[in-house]
Structure 1
Amino acid sequence: MVLRLQGSYASDLIFILNYGVTPASVHDIKVVYELLEGCKQSVILGDLGYLSSELKKDLEQQGYHLWTPFRKNMTGAEEHNNWKVMVMRRTIETRFSELCRLFDIEQTLARGLAGLQLRIEQIILAYNLRYFEMN
């Protein structure tokens, strides 16, 4: 099983807005539409799993701008991989590693799908509430 998260980025705060759990054999691109359901942000930052010109064009028709980093060996990667956007990507990756470290989200020990869903939702709730405590 693979956990995919969608969040909203504002300054140094990241809130998790949506999530999806799929078998590891399902490609990231197959669940992007489900993750974007009800999403009000127009700029979407994705990792290399979402690198697809066809997906980018399709999302642009729906009013979204998908930004994914280029692989280092791709033409124009140095210009495309803007350091400011890469800093935002690093922040997102850091938040995901916090979920792994603080809440052990990768090994929930859930026995069934309902238990797994409940545990993930508890973790996301606790994670999002941390930012309300700080303000």
Structure 2
Amino acid sequence: MKLNIFGKESLQKIEAFISFEITPWVGPDNQLTVEIKPDFQTPSGEFSPDKNKIPSINTRTLESTVRLKDGETIVLGGLIQETENTTISKVPLLGDIPILGELFTTRSKQTGKSELMIYLTPHIFYADEFGVEYVNYGMN
């Protein structure tokens, strides 16, 4: 939410998403070469209507090319995110008094760490004269 030129509140859309671009190739030896490009966009920061702050967007990307056999699983990691939020609260007017204002002010700090792991298990589907023959991998 932010204020427009007339002093009225207006909403702004902020998109957060996870997308994957995966390009597989099957070699003559039935080995798979897979190019993986995940893209993660998440909001960061806090929304504060009184100060007209809008969260920013964090973008994390990864590009990897792997070679594996049909049915093998690859684990991609390393997308680590560390966060630190500091909140300051104060009693109106009293918190603004020089030196004494600290008695009417509280500060809190939160930290966090997360890691995103991607597990990918590609399978090869072979085509017959009628279309694709679905191998039984739980897809009935």
TM-score band, normalised by shorter chain: under 0.3
Query: TM-score, length-normalised on structure 2?
Result: 0.21
Indicate the structure (1 or 2) with the bigger Cα radius of gyration: 2
